[in-house]
């Protein structure tokens, strides 16, 4: 588990290289505002080796945030991280590790009969009822998520700093919002107990659409309601304070809904999810920070002129990590060369709030 002393030592070891606020607080830990994602790539040994090199390059270069999910590359991304912790001298306590559960993971490769695999592995075994699965591939039922957490703990060979329920808005294809909130609360009770047991340090929700669309959108889930359900879950689990600490969502210069859409009514007016999360003390991890590679080819000219960075990718990353409330911006790559370029973005300070608003307004 990441510890305050080890993450602060990691920060101090890179003192002088990075710009202001490159390392940011997550509780008492200090973590890099640029993180490495592990979604991209085929499930092959060659890509595994690429990720191993990329992760080691990232950690050596000053990035101590790793983000993965059990379904990424059919569990292989988690297993690469586990191998690194087991076989190298990386100080696990200095690295902040997040993973996710919700989408059905295959085991190393796609099976010849995916539906049969799901039935045999999860339904016939009694882990989940068939009606719990949406589109045959997504489930957030308590027993299922607990099973996924156990598999992730085994894959990684270590405790998990932040465990996300992965894209719960997928469930809205088959059930009402209220039913999804109810299911999340039941699952949160289990996760509160796992926080208390020390298997995970905190938990949250990773989303794609849920938090960055208007309240009348079919994929909308209210972060305010989810946070209330987490507080109720903590009470039910006998904990004084909820372990619900973070969200993950897409944010970049061409996908900025998390900043522009304001579905939350507050005494101070309507608020975007980024503003609301900051108001209530939730950490935000942004995904798709370079739009899955598209922004590495170029960012809008008016933004490029005002955001620091030597390359389009660096400008995109610095934009993504500039909004108030963002803890870390994730960039997925299995290329050590791209990792070096991405982490070097942090040598420049992010935009200040007023400058960010001005740049954003011009985009």
Give tens-digit pLDDT for 127-157. 999 999 999 999 999 999 999 999 999 999 9
Q: What is the pLDDT of residue 360?
A: 65
- When pLDDT is cut at 50, 70 and 90, the band that residue 18 belongs to is very high
Rounded to 10 degrees, what is the CA torsion of 306, 310, 315, 317? -150
CB atoms under 10 Å from CB of 357, counted, come to: 15
Percent share of the chain, pLDDT over 90: 88
* pLDDT at residue 302 is higher than 90: no
- When pLDDT is cut at 50, 70 and 90, the band that residue 358 belongs to is confident
- When pLDDT is cut at 50, 70 and 90, the band that residue 357 belongs to is confident
Residue 132: phi, psi to the nearest 5? -75, -20
Cα(first)–Cα(last) distance of the chain, in Å?
Answer: 40
Q: Mean pLDDT across the stretch 109-117? A: 95
* pLDDT at residue 48 is higher than 90: yes
**CA separation for the pair 190, 239 (Å, rounded):** 12
Give the max Cα distance, the chain.
58
* pLDDT at residue 92 is higher than 90: yes
The full set of domains in the chain, from first to last, is 4-362 (3.20.20.100)
Q: Mean pLDDT across the stretch 199-217? A: 97
pTM of the model: 0.96
Q: Where are the beta strands (DSSP E) in the chain?
A: 23-26, 29-32, 34-37, 65-67, 96-101, 160-166, 200-206, 244-250, 264-266, 269-271, 283-287, 326-332
Asked if 98 contacts 164 with a C-beta cutoff of 8 angstroms, the reply is yes
Query: How much is the mean pLDDT over the chain?
Result: 95
- When pLDDT is cut at 50, 70 and 90, the band that residue 362 belongs to is low
Degrees, nearest 5: CA angle 284-289-294: 160
**CA separation for the pair 340, 145 (Å, rounded):** 35
**What separation in angstroms does the CA of 159 have from each of 24, 145, 194, 256, 278?**
21, 16, 10, 33, 27
H helix or E strand, kind and range, residue 186: helix 177-197
**CA separation for the pair 309, 344 (Å, rounded):** 9
């Amino acid at each position: 588990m990441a510890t305050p002393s080890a993450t602060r030592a990691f920060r101090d070891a890179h003192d002088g290289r990075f710009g202001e606020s490159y390392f940011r607080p997550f509780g008492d830990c200090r973590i890099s505002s640029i993180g490495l994602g592990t979604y991209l790539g085929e499930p092959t040994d060659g890509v595994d080796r690429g990720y191993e090199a990329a992760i080691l390059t990232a950690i050596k270069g000053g990035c101590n945030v790793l983000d993965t999910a059990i379904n990424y590359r059919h569990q292989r991304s988690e297993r690469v991280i586990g191998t690194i912790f087991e076989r190298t001298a990386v100080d696990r306590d200095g690295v902040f590790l997040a993973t996710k559960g919700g989408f059905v993971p295959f085991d190393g490769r796609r099976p010849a009969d995916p539906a049969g695999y799901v039935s045999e592995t999860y339904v016939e075994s009694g882990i989940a009822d068939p009606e719990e699965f949406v589109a045959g591939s997504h489930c957030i039922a308590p027993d299922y998520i607990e099973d996924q957490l156990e598999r992730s703990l085994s894959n990684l060979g270590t405790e998990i700093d932040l465990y996300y329920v992965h894209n719960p808005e997928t469930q809205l294809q088959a059930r009402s919002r209220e039913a999804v909130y109810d299911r999340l609360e039941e699952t949160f009770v289990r996760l509160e107990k796992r926080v208390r047991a020390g298997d995970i340090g905190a938990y949250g929700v990773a989303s794609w659409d849920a938090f960055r669309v208007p309240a009348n959108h079919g994929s909308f889930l209210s972060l305010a309601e989810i946070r209330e359900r987490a507080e109720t879950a903590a009470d039910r689990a006998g904990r004084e304070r909820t372990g619900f600490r973070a969200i993950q969502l897409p944010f970049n210069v061409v996908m900025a809904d998390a900043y522009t859409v304001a579905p939350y009514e507050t005494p101070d007016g309507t608020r975007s999810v980024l503003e609301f999360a900051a108001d209530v003390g939730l950490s935000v991890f942004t995904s798709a920070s370079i739009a899955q590679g598209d922004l590495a080819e170029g960012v809008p000219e008016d933004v490029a002129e005002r955001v620091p960075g030597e390359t389009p990718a660096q400008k995109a990353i610095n934009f993504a990590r500039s909004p108030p409330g963002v803890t870390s911006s994730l960039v997925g790559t299995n290329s050590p060369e791209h990792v070096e370029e991405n982490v070097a973005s942090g040598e420049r300070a992010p935009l200040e709030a007023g400058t960010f608003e001005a740049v954003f307004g011009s985009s």
